[in-house]
Amino acid sequence: MEGISLLSKLFISMVFPGLTDWKKAVPVLIVGMAFFISGCQAIVPVKKAVVKDAPAEQFALADEFRQRGELDRALEVYGAYVEKYPRHENVVLALDRMAGVYSKKWQFKKALKFYKRIAGKYPAYARLSAVQYQIARLLYLLKEYTHSVDESFKWLEKYHKDPLRGEVLVLLGDVFKALGNNVQAFNSWLKAKETWRGDLKIETELNNKLKELINVSGIEALEKMAQDASGSEYAPEIHYRMATFFLEQNDLERAKTAAMALVRSTQEQSWIDLGKQLLERMEEELSVRPGVVGCLLPLTGRFGIYGEEVLNGIQLGTGMFGEPGEGPDLELVIKDTKGKPEPALAGLEDLVHNEKVMAIIGPLSSRTAVAIITLTQREGITETGDMVFRNFLTPSKEVKRLLDPGIFEMGIKRFAILYPDNSYGHFFVNLFWDRLEEMGGTVAAVESYDPDTTDFADQIKKMTGLYYPRPHPLVRKLIEMRTPEEEESRLYPEEPEPIIEFDAIFIPDNFQRIAMIAPQLVYHDVLDVLLMGTSLWQSPELIETAGDYVQGAIFPSGFFESSGESCVSVFSEDYLMDFDATPGILAATGYDTIRLLKHMMAGEGVRTRGDLKEALLECRDFPGLTGNVVFDPEGEVEKEPFLLTISGRRMVVYR
C-alpha cells in the first residue's frame, strides 16, 4: 500500500467501510472517482455561459448600426435580439432604442407603439419618464392633441422634479396652441420659461412664442392672459395690446382702463411712457369738437386755383350761401397749405391738437387719429393710415373706364401713346400699357415729349414713319399698294405719306396741351384715329380752342355738369350764381364730401373721431354729384367714372 496516499485511504474507508484489502480497493476507488468526476461534470452550466455572451454581442452590433446611421439594419438586429432573448435584462433598452429609431425615421405610429409597450410592461424602467414624455410628444406630432394633453398632464402629476419637466411644459404649450387655446398655451409657456431660467437659447425661443401669442390673441384671451401674467415682464405688453385693441374698436372707456393697468403693471419707463401717450390720445379723442371740420387746401401758390375751387364746393355744401342742407350746422377751420408739405404738416397738427376738429378734408395723408378724406389721385394713399379715406377719381379707374371692352368691340386694338416726360405721363403710360396688354391690345407706337414744348412735329413724324428716311424697298411697296384714285391724287407729292399703324392715340396731358397737339396731328395727316385722354381734358376751353380737331375724342370724368341729373343742374346753377363760374370735378367733389360728413355726423352715436371712421366705413350709396359714395375696407371710394366725348360744340356722355 506504499503507492496509496493517506487521503486515498481515508476516502476508501468512508465510501467502503469494512474494506481492509487496500489493493482490492484501488480499482474500486478508481471507479468511484470516475463516477464522482462524471457527476460533477453533469451540473457544469456550459450552455448558460453561451447565453450570457451572445446577447451582449448582438445588442452591441445593433447599437453600432444605429450610431453609424444604418437605421434599417439597426432595427433588424434589435428586433432579432428581442425575439430571441425576450427575458434578457437589455430587452427594454432595445425596445426603447427601436422606438427612437422609428421616431427618427418619422414613422411616428410605430414609435408610439413601442413606447406604449415599454410603459405597459416595464413600470420599473429607469427611463420611464422619458418614455412617457415621448408618448405625449408623438401624440402631438400625430395631431392627436387631446390625448397628448392628457398624457402631458399625467406626466406633470407624476414627475414633479424630473429634468424633462421644462420640455413637457413647452410641449403642452404647443399642443394648446394647436388646439386654439391661447390662454392655456400662454400659461404653459410662461411656466416653461421659468423652468428653463438660465438657458438663454430656450428662453429666447419661449419669449418669441409668448410675444407672438400676445399679438395674435383676441380680447377675451388677452384678459385671461393678463391674470396669468400679473407681475411678469409680459403684463405691460398684454395691457398695451388690450388698450390698442379697444382704441381700434373705439371703446374709449375700456381702452382707458387698459392703459391705466399698463402704467401700473411695470416700472419700466418706456412702457409707462407708452401708457401715458395712450391716455393722452384718449383724452384728445374725447375732447373733439363735434361739427368742426378742418380744410387743408392750397389756396395760394401754383395750385391755388384748384384749392379755391374745392373750397367753393365745400362752402356751397355747408349751406352758408342760403341753403342749410342736411345735418347739423358745421364750422369750417381752413388752413392754406400753399401747395407745400411744411405748411400742410403744420396745419394738420394745429387742426388735430388745437382746433380738435372731427375730420379733415384735403390732399394730405397721415397716420393721425382723425378721419382725413383726401382729394388726390396718388395711388395707394389710403394705405398710409387707417383713418385715411379717398373721395376722388384714381388713375387706375380712369384707365379701366377708358379701355372698356366696348372699345375693342369697335375694332380698336392697335394704339399709339404720346405722353409728357414727367411723373404724370409716366404713371399713366404704365397703367395704360399694362391694362392694354391684359386685354389683348397692342402698342404700335410710343413717343414722349418735353412738358414745356409747343412743337410736336418730331414726335408725330416718328410715330408715322416720316422722321427717318425710308428704305427704297418700302417706298416701292407703298407705291405698288396705291389705288388708281390715290395715284391720280398724288401725281406730284411733296412729302411722303404717313404710315398709320394704329387706330387710336392715348395722350395723358391737360386740355391746354391737347389744344396744341390735336391740330398738329391733323396737319401731319394723322386722320381717322380715335383720340383718348384723361380727366384733365375736361374743360370748355378745349372745345373753344381746338373743337374741330378733337371731334369724337373720349376721356373719363368724375363729374359732368351737363349730365341731365336734377341735383347736378341745381348745383351748377347755384355755383354759377355764387361764384360766376362753371363748376368742375374739384368743386363737385368738395360739395359731395362736406355733405357726406354732415350726414355721417348727424347719426346717433357719432361722438368721436373713431365713431366717424366707423360710420364712413359703413356708409352705403350716399347720393352725390360725382356718383354714389361707398368706401371699401381700405377707405377707397367705389365709384365708376363717366366716359365723355366731344360732339360738335358740346361734351356729351359717351354711349
Q: Dump pLDDT digits (tens) for 563-622.
A: 878 888 999 999 999 999 888 888 988 999 999 998 888 877 788 888 888 888 888 878
Instruction: State the pTM of this model.
Output: 0.58
In contact, 517 and 454? CB cutoff 8 Å: no
Name beta bridge partners: 336: 297
Helix (H) or strand (E) holding 11: helix 6-15
Q: What residue has cell string 395715284?
A: 487
What φ, ψ does residue 507 adopt, rounded to 5°? -130, 100
Band of residue 329 on the pLDDT scale cut at 50, 70, 90: confident
Rounded mean pLDDT of the chain? 83
Identify residue 481 by its one-letter amino acid code.
M
- d(C-alpha 372, C-alpha 390), whole Å: 8
What φ, ψ does residue 372 adopt, rounded to 5°? -115, 125
Judge whether residue 467 has pLDDT over 60.
yes
Of 138-147, 261-270, 543-552, 625-634, the poorest mean pLDDT is in 625-634
Q: How far is CA 23 from CA 11, 17, 31, 66, in A?
A: 14, 15, 14, 69
CATH number of the domain at 292-393+566-638, out of 3.40.50.1820, 3.40.50.1110, 3.40.50.2300, 3.30.930.10?
A: 3.40.50.2300
Taking residues 392-400, report their average pLDDT.
86
Q: What residue has cell string 420640455?
A: 167
Measure the N-to-C terminal CA separation of the chain; round to a whole number of Å: 149
- pLDDT (0 to 100) of residue 50: 31
In contact, 634 and 627? CB cutoff 8 Å: no
How much of the chain, in percent, has pLDDT values that exceed 70?
Answer: 83
- d(C-alpha 578, C-alpha 197), whole Å: 76
Q: Dump pLDDT digits (tens) for 534-574.
A: 988 988 899 999 999 999 999 999 888 888 788 889 999 99
In contact, 460 and 522? CB cutoff 8 Å: no
| Cα 437 to chain centroid, rounded | 27
Q: Which of 538, 616, 625, 637 is nearest to 589 (CA)?
A: 625
Q: Dump pLDDT digits (tens) for 48-88.
A: 323 334 678 888 998 999 999 999 999 999 999 998 888 88
- pLDDT (0 to 100) of residue 530: 94
- pLDDT (0 to 100) of residue 655: 76
Of 40-44, 293-297, 324-328, 372-376, the poorest mean pLDDT is in 40-44
Judge whether residue 362 has pLDDT over 90.
no
Helix (H) or strand (E) holding 416: strand 414-420
- d(C-alpha 21, C-alpha 17), whole Å: 11
Q: Which of 183, 108, 110 is nearest to 138 (CA)?
A: 108
- pLDDT (0 to 100) of residue 5: 45
DSSP secondary structure string for all residues of 228-274: HTTTSTTHHHHHHHHHHHHHHTT-HHHHHHHHHHHHHT---HHHHHH
Laid out side by side, the sheet with 442-449 consists of 442-449, 414-420, 504-506, 530-532, 554-557, 642-647, 650-653
Eight-state DSSP code of residue 381: G
Same fold, 292-393+566-638 and 397-464+500-557: yes
Q: What residue has cell string 365709384?
A: 639
Taking residues 255-283, report their average pLDDT.
90
In contact, 293 and 357? CB cutoff 8 Å: yes
Q: What share of the chain is helix, strand, coil (3-state, %, to 5)?
A: 55, 10, 35
Judge whether residue 305 has pLDDT over 90.
no
- d(C-alpha 581, C-alpha 570), whole Å: 14
- pLDDT (0 to 100) of residue 27: 44
- pLDDT (0 to 100) of residue 43: 38
The length of the chain, given as a count of residues: 655
CATH superfamily of 397-464+500-557: Response regulator (3.40.50.2300)
In contact, 362 and 311? CB cutoff 8 Å: no
Q: What residue has cell string 389710403?
A: 382
Taking residues 367-386, report their average pLDDT.
68
How much of the chain, in percent, has pLDDT values that exceed 90?
Answer: 47
Q: How far is CA 112 from CA 64, 154, 156, 158, 385, in A?
A: 23, 17, 19, 20, 52
Most distant CA atoms of the chain, gap in Å:
168
- d(C-alpha 63, C-alpha 84), whole Å: 17
- pLDDT (0 to 100) of residue 14: 41
More confident residue, 490 or 85: 85
In contact, 567 and 546? CB cutoff 8 Å: no
Residue 279's CB is within 10 A of a number of other CB atoms, namely 17
Q: Dump pLDDT digits (tens) for 139-195.
A: 999 999 999 999 999 999 999 889 999 999 999 999 999 999 999 999 999 999 999
More confident residue, 621 or 212: 212
Taking residues 102-118, report their average pLDDT.
94
- pLDDT (0 to 100) of residue 38: 40
Domain chopping of the chain, boundaries: 1-19+27-41, 217-287, 292-393+566-638, 397-464+500-557
- Specify the 3-state DSSP secondary structure of 133: helix
Q: Which of 553, 551, 561 is nearest to 585 (CA)?
A: 561
Of 264-273, 501-510, 630-639, the poorest mean pLDDT is in 630-639
Judge whether residue 518 has pLDDT over 60.
yes
Q: How far is CA 13 from CA 1, 27, 30, 33, 320, in A?
A: 14, 14, 14, 14, 148
Residue 45's CB is within 10 A of a number of other CB atoms, namely 9
Q: Which of 295, 385, 343 is nearest to 613 (CA)?
A: 385
Judge whether residue 47 has pLDDT over 80.
no
Identify residue 195 by its one-letter amino acid code.
T
Judge whether residue 417 has pLDDT over 60.
yes
- pLDDT (0 to 100) of residue 37: 36
Judge whether residue 513 has pLDDT over 80.
yes
Q: Dump pLDDT digits (tens) for 639-650.
A: 888 899 999 999
Band of residue 392 on the pLDDT scale cut at 50, 70, 90: confident
Judge whether residue 365 has pLDDT over 60.
no
Q: Which of 367, 283, 387 is nearest to 611 (CA)?
A: 387
- Specify the 3-state DSSP secondary structure of 372: strand
More confident residue, 46 or 255: 255
Judge whether residue 32 has pLDDT over 50.
no
Name beta bridge partners: 449: 420
- d(C-alpha 349, C-alpha 344), whole Å: 9
Q: Which of 612, 601, 650 is nearest to 291 (CA)?
A: 601
Eight-state DSSP code of residue 603: S
Beta-carbon contacts of 371 under 8 Å, excluding residues fewer than 6 positions away, are: 358, 359, 360, 387, 389, 609, 612, 613, 616
